[in-house]
Amino acid sequence: LSDNGDYVAKRKNHNYLERKRRNDLRSRFLALRDQVPGLASCPKTPKVVILSKSSEYLQSLISAERRMAAEKRQLRLRQMQLLRQIAQLKGH
């Protein structure tokens, strides 16, 4: 009889842990969904859509970051040119 009680206790604990894992996973998907533009207003978004749209959004952010870094380099070069011109003009 004790073995049966142990089994039931183990099953209950296993079920509790599995339910906790599923709830945690669900809440993380919802948090991810809420960070992706256009998905926050869609409460029944499938997980595969959340993942694919998140990937697309991440790629767009990476692309924008690269573009802005290149623009920043160009602006710094232009700034250095202008500072040199100012220094030359002050020297004359």
Residue ranges of the domains in the chain? 2-91
* pLDDT tens, per residue, the chain with 92 residues: 578 889 999 999 999 999 999 999 999 999 999 999 999 889 899 999 999 999 999 999 999 999 999 999 999 999 999 999 999 999 87
pLDDT of residue 92: 73
Q: Containing H/E element for 36?
A: none
Residues 57, 64 contacting (CB under 8 angstroms) = no
pLDDT of residue 2: 73
pTM: 0.76
Q: How far apart are CA 85 and CA 18, in angstroms?
A: 68
- Running DSSP on this structure, what letter comes out for residue 43? T
Domain 2-91: state its class: few secondary structures
